[in-house]
Amino acid sequence: MNHNVISIGGKVIADPREVPGKMFVFRVRSVSHRNKDNPLFIDVKTFGNLCDICIDHVKKGTKINVTGRLELREREVDGMKRYDYSVVADSVDYDNF
């Protein structure tokens, strides 16, 4: 049983990018109904068959729901530690308007 599961819904805010090696990445803006003034911005990564599907259907402005695994990446910028969270998607539901 995998306990590292997250679901997030929102809107794709920038043009997605395809990364060599069959990976597709897009950034999502998610707004909580309880805290509308503090949106969450998070990258979503897709691989394999899901990557192929998202390339054809996910664009800037697409409303999506993603379920996947939360991933943390640590990096250093100007001597300070920075942490980036992303979701490695298992499923992506989309709706183009």
Predicted confidence (pLDDT) per residue in 54-80, tens digit: 988 999 999 999 999 999 999 899 999
Strand bridging mode 17-19 / 40-47: unpaired
**Any idea how long the chain is?**
97
- Smallest CA-to-CA distance from 54 within 40, 37, 68, 41 is with 68
Predicted confidence (pLDDT) per residue in 5-27, tens digit: 999 999 999 999 988 878 999 99
Global pTM? 0.84
Which domains does the chain show, CATH number per domain?
Answer: 6-95 (2.40.50.140)
Predicted confidence (pLDDT) per residue in 31-59, tens digit: 877 777 888 899 999 999 998 889 889 99
